[in-house]
Amino acid sequence: MSRLFNPRMNSRSRLFSFYLVVVLTTTLSSGAAPKTKYGKIELIQDTWGIPHVFADTDAGAMYGLGYATAEDRGFQMTYNLRIIQGRLAEIVGARQRGNRKETAVDSDRKMRTFGWERAAERTAANLDRGTRQLLEAYCAGVNDSFAAQKVAGRLHPLFKKLEVEPEAWTPADCLLSWWHLAQFFATDGTRDLMVLRNREHPRPGQPQPFKPGAMWFDDATAVVQRSDVSDEWVKRVEDFRSARGLGAGSHSGDAPKFSHAWVVGGKKTTTGAAVLVSDPQTPVRNPSLWMEFHISGKTINARGIGVPGSPGLLIGFTRNVAWGLTALGADQADLFRLETDPKRPDEYRWNGKWRKMEVRTEQIKVKGAQAVEIKLRETHLGLVASEFCFRQPGDPEVALKRIPMCETDRDTIQGVFAMMRARNATEFVKAFDDWRFPSANCVYGDRAGHIGYSVLGAVPMRSKQATDSNGNEATAGTVDLDDWQGFVPQELLPHIVDPRAGLLLSANHRPVGSFYKIPLGISTGSMGDTIRSWRLRERLDMKQKFTPADVLDVHYDTVNAARREIVRLGLHLRDTKQGELSDEANEALAVLEKWFKSGASSDLKSDGAELATRISTFFRFIATPVALKYGGGESGLARFLKDAARRIAADPKAAFDEDECRFISTIIEDAWIEAGLGTDAARERTGGKPGSAQTLGWFDTLDGFGSLDPAGDLTQPDITCLDGQTIHSQAAQSYTQFVPLHDVDSAQTICPIGHSDRPDVRFRTSTMNLWGAAKLHAAPLSREGVERIAAERSVLSK
């Protein structure tokens, strides 16, 4: 072990060097030292703390990544693992989850009932040898790092404060770390029994679902257009659907949004290479949900973001390929209604015969309280999950079958490793078969200028006998024909290569047109545009040729197309004297007119933006009858407002009906009242100020259990674009990646708020100021490029 000379070495760096030496003599495993297994391993941390691992072998790169991750995200990866293992109460006791009537003990019961940990252990044992070797190398790095930190007294302070000990990291833990985050961007199936019950036994006065109208579906917005796919492929899709008796596609509503990404192909760029931008949009956390890293081994040279505790990249790029993801929201989980008998406890009837459930008892340790014992029952379909599935008296027991737990012979990490090794778009696409969870929209491009899009994920083929082919209702579970009949082959999922438009975008909107009939169970943007995809299309349609800077400039767009068009329509109603606008609506329009004419930016530094961003974009049947015509949610609102704009363009005196006028008047009036602009003094305020400072709770995860220690909380900088329906939306800018593939060393990224979870490390908030200033930083891939921004360096193995 040696430490390369660095004149900027501080006390933290010298101590880091000390425990790097320790690792070669003190390890948690009993194998040979890493240098005899993995070859030379060097670790460089750049100006922002991002680790760059250079190794002779891929396994060496994984070892170095594991080592660096445990150093900078050791507590975070441990904490998140405990949550999905069902061991949160060991750390926080019976802590309440936000304002809900749910505690950490309840969370543990749920996680164990769903069977995450057991499934990960089974799956890890069945992975191919090459994948296991990479995971084992990563785990060895993690464990050696933890061992060295313990010897040096350098474990994260929350380990001691919360009385937690890091445990030996395993390949199953790598899978669990990925699954923990992925679950938030997927449906869990637990409401399927309630949906069925409400349909079969509606409550008195319960509104019935509306039958979709012709205006609900906006095929023109779909990523995959009929003109971009061959007749032969469409025939194969239809033959497959018909042969398996699959029903029609999904008509579901909205689900959690996650990201936008766009790529411009070589025919439209000035460089001839693709240019890609990816913006995963989820609230910025302290520390970040993501870990940015770069590894270079024998066959892998890739960087991007992954999940602390897992060595795969969710979004990233190599020398020749870049990719971005957005959430698809396909239904990958079902409840099966079991036939049981109180006289035959822990049994269920299948194919006319009674089967024994696998029964086991587990103990949940609760900090500061007595342990809780739970009984788990498992069928061949999955674990019995009735307790967490809104079961009412008279309802049957239900078993939960869900990706990834039901597939124990493969995992997404296999596809991810193949993506990280891809040398071109063709090789990249071959990796899609192994992407299972979560379902996603993937846009990608390569150095040669090719671009593409594909739906990713394991999409179940439901039984011909199922009442809902999209998986929204609990289905019968008594015979083989009730079970899933396999999965839709990857080549028959919606995809496109080099579309005629020369560019692609995805923002949780409609993935494919109505010609595609295989049910995907999509619950995210299945009808048409989201507000973000609408604006992305507007921006990308403005040019026929793009410089890399032009493609990046779209990222900074702060226009909410829906709010802009609501004001346009409001001004039209005012000027044509329609609808009898209220006094408040007229006063609001007097302010908003200037905002509209100056570009309609949601940036709070823009005059009028504070008022404009209060305009509601809630568009549901309960709010306005207009939604009955256009469909509810963002896609319905977008369809209505685009239609209104066309009507106005065609006729400056276009008339709107009473419901349309009332809807526009009401939401503009409500914005004025909410903004408190009714006083004389307030009327003079035509501009906004940055929003009030938000607290970022320390280790306040998506699980919702709040800050672990207020002493580690941070205050959000004065970001000025808080509108979550804009492309720039800083409050949800959890990562940005800009990759011009003609020169990947000119790539730029940012992962707020910084790299480390440790309070004593300067890299903890290394990107906070850049985030507040709406800037990115250099993200090179070559060794030469990394050397130019190197801050600290170590040799883990010679």
- The CA distance from 59 to 61, in Å, is 5
d(CA 140, CA 38): 11
Counting residues of the chain whose pLDDT is more than 70, the rounded percentage is 91
Question: Which SS3 state, helix, strand or coil, does residue 267 take?
Answer: helix
pLDDT tens digits for 661-700? 999 999 999 999 999 865 443 333 333 344 557 899 999 9
- Which segment of 192-201, 434-443, 666-675, 699-708 scores lowest on mean pLDDT? 192-201
**DSSP states of 763-778:** GGGTTHHHHHTT--EE
Burial of 569 (0-12, 13-18, 19+ CB in 10 A): buried
Tell me the backbone φ, ψ of residue 560, rounded to 5 degrees.
-95, 105
Average pLDDT over residues 9-22: 44
- Measured in residues, the chain has a length of 798
Residue 248 dihedral angles phi and psi, to the nearest 5°: -80, 170
3-state secondary structure of 755: coil
Strand partners, 269: 546
Tokens of 61: 């790169």
Percent of the chain predicted with pLDDT > 90? 84
| Distances, alpha carbon 718 to alpha carbons 48, 58, 165, 497, 756, in Å | 20, 41, 37, 41, 22
Specify the pLDDT at position 7: 33
Residue 2 binned pLDDT confidence (cut-offs 50, 70, 90): very low
In this structure, which amino acid lies at residue 147?
A
Q: What is the pLDDT of residue 200?
A: 87
The answer to whether the CB of 512 falls within 8 A of the CB of 235 is no
**CA-CA distance, 734 to 306, in Å (whole number)?**
12
Q: Is the dihedral angle over the CA atoms 755, 758, 762, 767 positive or is it negative?
A: positive
pLDDT at 18: 43
For residues 222 and 507, is the Cβ–Cβ distance under 8 A? Answer: no
Out of 99-113, 241-255, 317-331, 686-700, least confident range: 241-255
Helix (H, G, I), strand (E, B) or coil at 232: helix
430 sits in which H/E element: helix 425-430
Over residues 166-179, the mean pLDDT reads 99
Task: Check: CB of residue 278 under 8 Å from CB of residue 259.
Answer: yes
| Ranges 236-240, 344-348, 563-567, 612-616: which has the least confidence | 236-240
Backbone torsion region of residue 549, taken as left when φ is above 0, otherwise alpha when ψ lies between -120 and 50, otherwise beta = alpha
Dist. CA 603–CA 614, nearest whole Å? 13
Res 223 pLDDT > 90: yes
C-alpha dihedral sign at 562, 774, 780, 73: negative
Please state whether 600 falls in left (phi above 0), alpha (psi between -120 and 50) or beta.
Answer: left
Q: How high is the mean pLDDT of the chain?
A: 92
Q: Which segments within 471-606 are labelled E, that is strand?
A: 475-476, 495-497, 503-506
Choose from 21-30, 355-364, 461-470 the range with maximum mean pLDDT. 355-364
Residues 683/611, Cβ–Cβ less than 8 Å: no
- Residue 214 has a pLDDT of 67
Which of residues 210 and 427 earns the better pLDDT score? 427
288-308 pLDDT, tens digit each: 999 999 999 999 999 999 999
- At 231, give phi and psi (nearest 5°): -60, -35
Map residue 446 onto helix, strand or coil: strand
**For 762-770, what is the mean pLDDT?**
97
Helices (H), 86-128: 89-92, 104-114, 116-126
* DSSP three-state, residue 46: strand
| Least confident window among 134-148, 251-265, 387-401 | 251-265
Kindly list the domain boundaries of the chain, sorted by start residue.
561-683
What per-residue confidence (pLDDT) applies to 412? Answer: 99
523 pLDDT tier (thresholds 50, 70, 90): low
Contacts of 505 (CB under 8 A, 6+ apart): 223, 260, 261, 262, 263, 443, 533, 536, 537, 540
Cβ-based burial of 20 (10 A; exposed 0-12, middle 13-18, buried ≥19): buried
**Per-residue pLDDT tens digits for 437-488:** 999 999 999 999 999 999 999 999 999 888 888 889 999 999 999 999 999 9
Burial of 200 (0-12, 13-18, 19+ CB in 10 A): exposed
* Tens of pLDDT, residues 27-57: 344 344 665 689 999 999 999 999 999 999 9
What confidence category does residue 242 fall into, taking pLDDT thresholds of 50, 70 and 90?
confident
**What mean pLDDT comes out for the span 652-661?**
97
**How many separate helices (H) and strands (E) can be counted in the chain?**
24, 26
- Highest mean pLDDT: which of 256-260, 391-395, 621-625? 391-395
Which of helix, strand or coil describes residue 33?
coil
DSSP 484: -
| Pairing, β 333-337 against β 475-476 | parallel
Please report the sign of the dihedral spanned by the C-alpha atoms of residue 27, residue 28, residue 30, residue 32. negative
pLDDT, position 258: 63
Measuring CA to CA, how many Å separate 776 from each of 212, 306, 446, 568? 43, 18, 22, 33
- Return the pLDDT at 295: 99
User: Residue 497, class by beta-carbon neighbours within 10 Å (0-12 exposed, 13-18 middle, 19+ buried)?
Assistant: middle
- Which residues, other chains included, contact 125 with Cβ-Cβ below 8 Å and sequence gap of 6+? none
Maximum average pLDDT range among 17-21, 256-260, 497-501: 497-501
Q: Which residues pair with 402 in a beta bridge?
A: 333
Q: What's the average model confidence in pLDDT over 740-763?
A: 98
Angular region, 259: left φ>0, alpha ψ -120 to 50, beta rest: left
DSSP, residue by residue, 59-90: HHHHHHHHHHHHHHHHHHHHHHHHHHHT-THH
pLDDT (average), residues 641-658: 97
- Examine the pLDDT at 220 and tell me if it is beyond 90: yes
